[in-house]
Structures are given as C-alpha cells and as structure tokens.
Amino acid sequence: MKYLIPAFLLVSLLSGCNESARKTSETQTAGAATDTTLTTDLKSALASFGTDPLLNHIKILASDAYEGRSPGTRGEDSTVAYLTRQFTQMGLKPGNPDGTYIQKVPMVGFTAQPTASFTAGGKKINLNFPTDYVAITHRFVPQVQVNNADIVFVGYGIVAPEYGWDDYKGLDVKGKTIVMLINDPPVPNPQDTAQLDDATFKGRAMTYYGRWTYKYEIAAEKGAAACIIVHETGPAGYPYEVISGSWSRENFDISNPNKNMDRLPVEAWITTDKAQELFRASGKDFYALKKQAISKNFKPVPLGAQANFSITNKLREIQSQNVLAKLEGTDPQLKDEYVIYTAHWDHLGRDPKLKGDQIFNGALDNASGTAGLLEIAKAYTKLPQPPKRSILFLAVTAEEKGLLGSKYYANNPLYPLNKTLANINMDGLNPYGRTQDVIIVGYGNSTLDDILAQTATAQKREIVPEATPEKGSFYRSDHFEFAKQGVPALYAKSGIKAIDHDAKFLQDKADAYTANDYHKVSDDLKPGWDFSGAIEDLQLYLRVGYQVAQGQTWPAWKPGTEFRERREKMLQQKQ
C-alpha cells in the first residue's frame, strides 16, 4: 500500500536466452547444498518451532492491553517494549548500528474532518461521511478547500507507455476533480473475449497501475485538485468498510520538510451507488462509460458537474519505531551482507466512537506475522553456528497506514540495500491447519520462488501461484517497499488445499475472514485455531533465508519484472 515504478522492461530474445542460461546456473548453485545437508545444519532450528510459543506471542500482542497496536499510542509503547525484550532474551544483537533495537520513524498523524458535495444537473448531491465517501489530505496543513472543481471521468486513470495506454489523452486536469476506477482495465483477449489479454496489464494479475496509490500519484503529477476512486469490492479486493474504517480515523505519513505539498490536495473514495447517482445526475451511464474505459482509445469524459470538498486536519507529530535485531554472520568476507525478515507489528488501534468493542486487536493481521518473526529469530539462535551472512529481523511500524515503516527503512536503510540479498515477509499466518500447497504472491518475479519450491519438496508440498492476482496483494505488504528499491522479495502463504479437511474448507475460511474480520474489531484470537500449517510455513521461510545466507549466488529478479532494472543499477553501484 507508493512510488513511481520504472516501466516494464522490454527484454530482447538474446538477453532472455542469456538470462535462461544464467538462471540454470543460479538454480544449480542454489541447490548445491543438498536437502540432506540443509536438514542436518538446520535440525535444531527446525525443531525449535512450536504452536504453543507462537500462540502465546499472539495472545499477548493481540490482547486488549495492547490497545490494537496503533502507532503513537500506549499500544505502540507496549509492543515495542515486548519485541525488544524478546530479542534481548534470545541473545540477538541490537539491529541498529547505534547499539539499540530501534529505528526512529518520524511521522505526522492527521485526522480529517471532511465535508463534500456534488452539483450535477442543476441539483446538489450531498455526501455522507463515511458511509458514502471518505476523503483525506496528506498535506500537513490545517485545512484544504476545493470549490466548484469541474469533474472529469478519466477511466482507470492510467498512463502506461509500455502498453500504449493513456487515459488522459493530453487533457489538462489542473485544478479539476477526476473520477476513476480501481484496478487495471480488464482488457479482453482479442482471440478469446471470454479471457483477459495477458499481454495488457498482465491479464488478471493486478499491476501497480491498478493500485490506488498509483492512481493518486499520477493525479498529483497531473495537477488535479482532487481524485475520487470508485470503490467496487471485486476489483478492489476488499469491501468498502475496510476503507471507511481506516480512512475515517487518524492516518499517518512520514514527516518531511515540504509538508507533503507535492501530494494531492484531496484523496477520496466513493461507493459505487454514489458514483452511479453522480453519473445519472450528469446525464451519463456509469456502466456504459466503465465499459468504454477498457479500451486504449478511451478519452476523458467531462461530466458537466462540480465537486466541493472541505477538509479540516487535526495534526500531531510522533516518533514511531521500527524494531530490529541482528544475527551476525560468521564469514569475515560476507557478514556485511544481509537477508532481512520482516513483519509489521502495528494494527488499527482503538476507535472510541464505536459502541461495545472498540479495539482492533489484529490477531491475524498482524500479531500472527509478528509472532512468526519472533519464532524465526529464535530458531536462528538454535543453529550450531550462524550462517555466513548476517540476518536482520525487522518488525516495522505503520504498515496499515501505507507501508510507512518499511518505506522509511527502504529509503533510510541501516545496512546498504546493495548488500541486502533478499527480503522475506510475513503478513498474517495460517490458523486453519496444514496444507498441501504454498502460495507465492507475485509468483514468477524472482529466483527466490525457485528456492522456495525446492525447499517445499522436503515437506511434500507444491508451489502454486495466487488464485486472485487481480487483488494486487503483491503491492499491499511490506516486502513491496524493498522490491521497489530493487531488493528481491518473497511473500508466500499457506495454500488452500487442506490436508485434514475438504476441498472448500480453506477457501471458505479465507472468504469469511475477508468479509467478517479483516480490519474489523472482530479480528480477535479465535478458539480452535490450528497453527500447525503456519509452523510448516515458518520452517520454509527459515530454510529459504538460510540457503540465501549460505549461498554463492544472489537471488535475482526474473526478466520482465518492473524491479529488475533498479536492482541492476544498484548492484553496479556496489562494484
């Protein structure tokens, strides 16, 4: 959940052949340490994992005493103290070169109080916050006003030269309010219109162009006064309540000298129902225009309507904290190179406006991932000796506020990113038992996928790509901030083929969690949770990280990924 990504690379046939040969060499090198050798080296570490210690961490971190772990609250203080205490008890070194376990993350908290309305067809359309819309400004100013700004529908709001796509077609939108759709355009395959065109925006898989963060960024670059994204649950990947619950409360951004004045004055979402009402009042058909927007020939459509926004901001500056510990490598030549494990410790805190339960405990999201990070850190301390390269365990702040903790580290690394081989990220562990499969989010991006596939065979498990790449999950967790800087990143989860349940069991559980608990106060510790599958996942992540830390060849991005060019430039600087 941010940055302008380089255009997708156009790789020549020759470079593809060279890469194929290099990949074969890399795979052979990565596999040089046999599974038997790895298992012998890791035997004590793998045996240290257990469901009870994992569950105990989750119980503590997701308890009411931690108040939902929001940055800048007593919940942050309690969480940081707990993580620091755990790392210290494990005997791990402070992760910050200054001798502490803390990296300060300067942030500004802002709570928006917006009002908004449209004028269309000679009548005023009032908007109720947050049921009809949400609107915030990331500018660190006490108030923002947008008055009678002409509204233009810009389709999906994308400028992607590599696809020959420009939804703006040269239209000057400075000072205007632009309305756009979420996700990428679902462009049909010209040979089979029942399928999507894999050559345009990766077919079903969301690209960064489909993420809401990109849409606000390009709108700011174009000089718009406000950008409104129309929410639709399927393309967004989550219900509107996820947005209204998060955006209607205090939000954060990283503090900077220019007070974020390069950001859009107004960033907003509206419900589909409200969008249809606006379009009807403007004499337009929302769904007809949506259909037109899937063509690269689409041109912006002025609605003949105006938007008004007034946002009053309550501001405060805080010093949030990333928590990190280090296991120093044993090879004098390689110990200054790193593998980084990440999980975000924060959640949504407390909402005093709610009746009854007010605490967003975030048991799965992400007390479970943080617990997993602690258990992996503990497992590394059980090795007969540390690996050749150093391992960094990084619990980041403010993921729920826009990946801010990982973004701050990636932009202000404590150890050079051109000496960071890989990032392995955990965001929500599996509480429903063992699985036959492992899902790689963003499958096919890097050679880390190949290493995970190799190690999964020891568990008699298969690797599968995510079933819903259109939700853009690869862009929604902390590994992405490392990826966009060029560091190969792995984000994997338990699959959906349960070992001890029927074929629909895990998918039904995942769907129910998204609908009922995700970013809601009901994300509490549940009776009957079974973390045996999560333990197997954590063992995989340990094995992958260890193999990278011991290996002769660095992980690499595969041809066609938008991060490869950044990595190559970074490594050239290292030489």
pLDDT (tens digit per residue) in 392-428: 999 999 999 999 999 999 999 999 999 999 999 999 9
Output the domain CATH number for residue 229: 3.50.30.30
Task: Measure CA 472 to chain center.
Answer: 9
Q: For residue 427, give every residue at least 6 positions away whose Cβ sits within 8 Å of its Cβ, in sequence order, or none.
A: 343, 344, 365, 366, 369, 399, 477, 478, 491
Output the domain CATH number for residue 333: 3.40.630.10
What mean pLDDT do residues 22-37 have? 40
Closest Cα partner for 451 from 555, 338, 365? 555
93: exposed, middle or buried (Cβ count in 10 Å: 0-12, 13-18, 19+): middle
What mean pLDDT do residues 244-250 have? 89
Domain boundary among 260, 286, 315: 315
322 Ramachandran zone, left/alpha/beta (phi>0; psi -120 to 50): beta
Q: At what angle do helices 532-550 and 448-456 cross, to 10 degrees?
A: 130
Domain boundary among 315, 338, 372: 315
Instruction: For residue 4, tell me if it sits in a domain.
Output: no
What per-residue confidence (pLDDT) applies to 560? 80
DSSP string over 358-408: -EE--IIIIIIHHHHHHHHHHHHTTSSS--SSEEEEEEES-STTTSHHHHH
- Residues 297 and 419 grouped into a single domain: no
pLDDT band of 36, cuts 50, 70, 90: low
Instruction: For residue 150, tell me if it sits in a domain.
Output: yes
What's the predicted TM-score (pTM) here? Answer: 0.85
Q: Report the number of distinct structural domains present in the chain.
A: 2
- Residues 308 and 374 grouped into a single domain: no
DSSP 471: G
- Residues 37 and 123 grouped into a single domain: no
Residue 458 has pLDDT above 90, yes or no: no
- Residues 332 and 463 grouped into a single domain: yes
H or E stretch including 253? strand 251-254
Contact 568, 464 (CB under 8 A): no
What per-residue confidence (pLDDT) applies to 230? 98
- Residues 307 and 340 grouped into a single domain: no
What per-residue confidence (pLDDT) applies to 5? 32
Q: What is the mean pLDDT of the chain?
A: 91
What residue numbers bound the domain in which 378 lies?
13-91+328-574
Residue 11 has pLDDT above 90, yes or no: no
- Residues 342 and 402 grouped into a single domain: yes
- Residues 84 and 125 grouped into a single domain: no
What per-residue confidence (pLDDT) applies to 149? 98
- Residues 207 and 350 grouped into a single domain: no
Instruction: For residue 321, tell me if it sits in a domain.
Output: no
What mean pLDDT do residues 243-257 have? 92
pLDDT band of 574, cuts 50, 70, 90: low
- Residues 17 and 46 grouped into a single domain: yes
pLDDT tens, 380-392? 999 999 999 999 9
What per-residue confidence (pLDDT) applies to 37? 53
Instruction: For residue 553, tell me if it sits in a domain.
Output: yes
What per-residue confidence (pLDDT) applies to 465? 85
- Residues 492 and 537 grouped into a single domain: yes
Instruction: For residue 431, tell me if it sits in a domain.
Output: yes
pLDDT tens, 108-165? 999 999 999 999 999 999 999 999 999 999 999 999 999 999 999 999 999 999 999 9
What mean pLDDT do residues 5-20 have? 31
pLDDT tens, 286-316? 999 999 999 999 999 999 999 999 999 999 9
Domain boundary among 291, 315, 339: 315
**Beta strand spans in 75-162 (E):** 93-94, 102-120, 123-126, 133-136, 143-153, 159-160
Instruction: For residue 309, tell me if it sits in a domain.
Output: yes
Contact 486, 563 (CB under 8 A): yes
Residue 21 has pLDDT above 50, yes or no: no
Instruction: For residue 96, tell me if it sits in a domain.
Output: no
